[in-house]
A and B are shown apart, each in its own frame.
Chain A
Amino acid sequence: MSAGNMHIKLKVWRQSNSNTNGGFEDYSLDGVSPDMSFLEMFDVLNEQLIEKGTEPVAFDHDCREGICGMCSMYINGQPHGPLRGVTTCQLHMRSFNDGDTIVVEPWRAEAFPVIKDLVVDRDAFDRVISAGGFVSVNTGNAQDANSLPIPKVDADESFAAAACIGCGACVAACKNASAMLFVSAKISQLALLPQGQAERSMRAEKMVAQMDAEGFGACTNTGACAAECPKEISLENIARMNREYIGAKLSSSNV
């Protein structure tokens, strides 16, 4: 078995709850294996903290295979760490060097308040989806799946947008804490499909309104979101959302 021999220094944000101020704590960890995932390194840290009688670091994680979108650490100044197209749970310690100091912070955004340590509240995303990120089709109403041919390019593009895992790295990376990549991915997915046409205008108007109400910032097209997105969602989706929104505002009958 690969007994590790890396030595890692950690500076981790600790905060008891949303009402208290937090601060950094320094930890030192020996015997880290390069084959460990970043979160497994945190497991080891937590076991050591428990042994010492200190409260372990709270962090969000679930599937640990890069698809659920729950893990959310800001590692050395980048969401999900230094690699492109990779979530924190799929980041491995071989991406770091022996003796490195790693600074770990929670996502920082007005719309994502810290719950504890590295855990933040991302309910805002759910509310944005509730505002219009769906096709209003009750169960049982559907026609035969093949009665509606969809050009493969549209289906593929729609899928590429739908691959968003809702982790919030886009918000975390954006200097304005803007959620436009997330929101535009859903608007794009449905705007590209014939099923999404009936509610197309309303969807764009409502989702953008909810996004604004949640306190996310506006987009200044720096491209940081797409560069940090673990699923590499394209910036083109934001342009599409802008089109959808402006078009909807100019043409819909909502006054």
Chain B
Amino acid sequence: MATSSSLDAKIPQGPIETKWSKYKSSVALVNPANKRNLEVIVVGTGLAGASAAATLAEMGYKVKAFCFQDSPRRAHSIAAQGGINAAKNYQNDGDSVYRLFYDTIKGGDYRAREGNVHRLAEVSGNIIDQCVAAGVPFAREYGGLLSNRSFGGTQVQRTFYAAGQTGQQLLLGAYSGLQRQVGMGTVKMYNRHEMLDVVNIDGKCRGIIARNLITGEVERHGGHAVLLCTGGYGNVFYLSTNAMGSNVTAAWKAHKRGAYFGNPCFTQIHPTCIPVSGDHQSKLTLMSESLRNDGRIWVPKKKNDTRPGNEIPEDERDYYLERRYPAFGNLVPRDIASRAAKERCDAGYGVGSSKLAVFLDFAAAVERYGKGEANKNNIANPSKEDITIWGKAVVKEKYGNLFDMYKQITGEDPYEVPMRIYPAVHYTMGGLWVDYNLMTTVPGLYALGEANFSDHGANRLGASALMQGLADGYFVIPYTIGSYLAKEIGTGKISTDHPEFVRVEKEVTDRIQTLMSIQGKTSPELFHRRLGQIMWEKCGMARNAQGLKEAIVEIRALRKEFWKDVKVMGGKNEFNPELDKAGRVADFIELGELMCLDALTREESCGGHFREEHQTEEGEALRDDENFMFVSAWEHKFEEEWELHKEELVYENIKIAQRSYK
């Protein structure tokens, strides 16, 4: 592993408040006649991809968009529950662009780039305007104006939402804009197509190789720029809150063709998910962070206590978050809440059949709300039963859909017994390294949304993922892509007959052929599970040097075994989910190795990355700003070999400090 620090993020000069506006007014433009001759390929149709494809088409570019699902509307942005942040200050509670910028940098544990984050905060308000204009039915107050709620890590109410389905509503908004362009013929949509490689010609990205998942046909698609909006790689852990199809393949192929991978080890573990119920488990389901507003988290004081939660008396309960963090209590940020749950379970205090769960209890909230209702209705001495009934009604109104979902999945009634929750992989802050223009280290190849590494540092705040995806697609890329495409107007149509297209296509088909011909004994699914186990055990919520070193050895062995023993059923020239899965798992295995390498190299604890060697006496994360205030950008060299490039992080507008929530 070699290292260098040669990365230029191309942040515009000048004060932070004017960087973006100055950039916008000085960036090169492409005239409308030329835009018609420039083709842009957009891979992935989540918030970032759908908004980018629609916007670029509106501007006049010829756009081709790809998604592996049966419709662009299925992208996993749809599953986001809580909301989207914007510095509108509609609540008059002192919010501002600077505060959103500051909260995001601090929440990211000082590992994000100032210039990008400030731009994100600047455009956040425009996103809400755009979405409302497109017909997104956000929650409103009786006066007809937009409603806001608060989220973790902030002291203002800046989160816009649509019940517990904000991601769905935003995606459907972006999707409708995309479908409008499809109808007008300005976007050519390729559903059920998976990108399997990028094609670079003379140092520039000139297209992709994609496979039609219905017919199995491998296709070449040329373009003057390629945008990867392909989401995160949380499924490297096998079990995560990601969709079953979410994968790293597009980003990984780009990485192997020259795009650096930024901070791969930064993963977010969400504290409130429904625990694993058995070996059959295929994915994990999130319970919105908003539940921590009213729920109290606890474990029994006695080890291996098997009594049902509601039968354990008050003085035998350990409300460990309130005990450890009296100032923030149950509302500490995600990374801290997750680690605390793991600590208790590891120490033997876990609950449920797996012992890998803690209680999230609404009994106190029910009583508090019940008494409040009694007061409201002037009832002096309400009975305990009445208080419970009224309290449950209030809780139902606030969280009814989440309680129903919990009951549906676990078969337990959370109104009667405390919920069981456990942390789960949720989001990946790491991703393809991009500069201020969102361009990767390959000219003409861009990464947007969760697929890039840029805005969340080492930990993402709630309701910021939707904001970033739409910011990148609606308001950033339409400007920044001009600086590149303005120089491409003389290129002419990209011919897919170029030898490089032929060569890359052959590599893709050869790999498919290899996967099909191994015919070993183990299904791709089982390899995926084994990879997930390694990653979760050794590169999960807590990591140490020894574990990571072991993990690298194990993953390498797994990779070799995979290519000897994988069994892919079906044919290659037909609809074959097994083949799709095999290709994705093969890429996850390679990524897993890089994640462990990155985690091993980052000898500090920050945000979602917790190295057990680097903690305070109280067990809190210990950052090392002197030696690690940089972005790790990994360049792929050969199999099992990467070179580390460092992008130093400079904080000119924010004073860095140790996070404390005590």
Contacts and interface: CB of A to CB of B under 8 A. Distances in A.
A98 to B, nearest CB: 16
A68 B408 contact: no
Nearest to B70: A122
Contacts of A43: 280, 282, 525
A65 B133 contact: no
Interface stretch (A74-82, A129-137, A240-248): A129-137
Interface residues of B, number: 87
Given A56-B578, A62-B245, A152-B142, A130 B179 contact: yes
B277 interface: yes
Interface string B56-70: 001000000000011
Given A39-B282, A145-B146, A146-B145, A155 B139 contact: yes
Contacts of A134: 134-135, 176-177, 179-180
Contacts of B25: none
Interface string B266-305: 0000000000011111110110000000000000000000
A58 B278 contact: no
29 contacts: A1-B354, A3-B278, A33-B280, A43-B282, A56-B578, A58-B577, A61-B244, A62-B245, A63-B76, A63-B244, A64-B243, A65-B283, A92-B409, A115-B214, A126-B191, A130-B182, A134-B135, A136-B180, A140-B475, A145-B88, A146-B90, A149-B144, A151-B140, A151-B144, A158-B135, A158-B137, A189-B137, A193-B137, A195-B132
B71 interface: yes
A35 B411 contact: yes
A135 B135 contact: yes
Given A70-B74, A126-B179, A133-B179, A142 B79 contact: no
Contacts of A44: 280
Contacts of A53: 569
Contacts of A63: 74, 76, 78-79, 243-244
Contacts of B243: 62-64, 68
B72 A55 contact: no
B94 interface: no
Interface core residue of B75, B90, B280, B574 (most chain A CB under 10 Å): B280
Contacts of B140: 149-152, 155-156
A10 interface: no
Q: Which 8 A-B pairs have the closest CB atoms?
A: A149-B144, A130-B183, A142-B133, A134-B176, A142-B129, A159-B137, A145-B132, A35-B277
Contacts of A33: 277-278, 280
B163 interface: yes
B51 interface: yes
A90 B408 contact: yes
B478 interface: yes
Contacts of B55: 138-139
A171 B224 CA distance: 41
A135 B134 contact: yes
Nearest to A130: B183
A193 B138 CA distance: 11
A79 B331 CA distance: 40
A196 B134 CA distance: 8
Given A36-B278, A119-B575, A155 B137 contact: yes
Nearest to A146: B145
A142 B51 CA distance: 14
Interface stretch (B97-105, B167-175, B318-326, B553-561): B167-175
B35 to A, nearest CB: 14
A156 B58 CA distance: 30
Nearest to B72: A126
A37 B282 contact: yes
A65 B79 contact: yes
A55 B55 CA distance: 42
A35 B278 contact: yes
A216 interface: no
Interface string B110-132: 00000000000000001011111
A4 B353 CA distance: 14
Interface in B136-161: 136-146
B169 to A, nearest CB: 6
Contacts of A189: 135, 137
A152 B138 CA distance: 10
A89 to B, nearest CB: 9
Interface string A168-212: 000000000000000000000110010110000000000000000
Contacts of B420: none
Nearest to A126: B71
A44 B169 CA distance: 33
Nearest to B189: A126
A154 to B, nearest CB: 9
Contacts of B474: 139
A142 B137 CA distance: 15
Contact of A55 (B129, B176, B525, B569): B569
B570 interface: yes
Interface string A97-124: 0000000000000000001100101110
Contact of A92 (B131, B136, B411): B411
B135 A129 contact: no
Interface in B521-535: 523, 525-526
The residue among A70, A148, A158 with the most chain B CB atoms within 10 A of its own CB is A70
A28 B95 CA distance: 60
A181 to B, nearest CB: 16
A123 B353 contact: no
Interface string A17-57: 10000000000000001111101110110110110011110
B277 A67 contact: no
Given A116-B574, A135-B176, A149-B143, A62 B569 contact: no
A226 B162 CA distance: 22
Nearest to B279: A1
Contacts of A140: 126, 130, 475
Contacts of B281: 40
A193 B278 contact: no
A153 B240 CA distance: 36
Contact of B130 (A127, A139, A149): A139
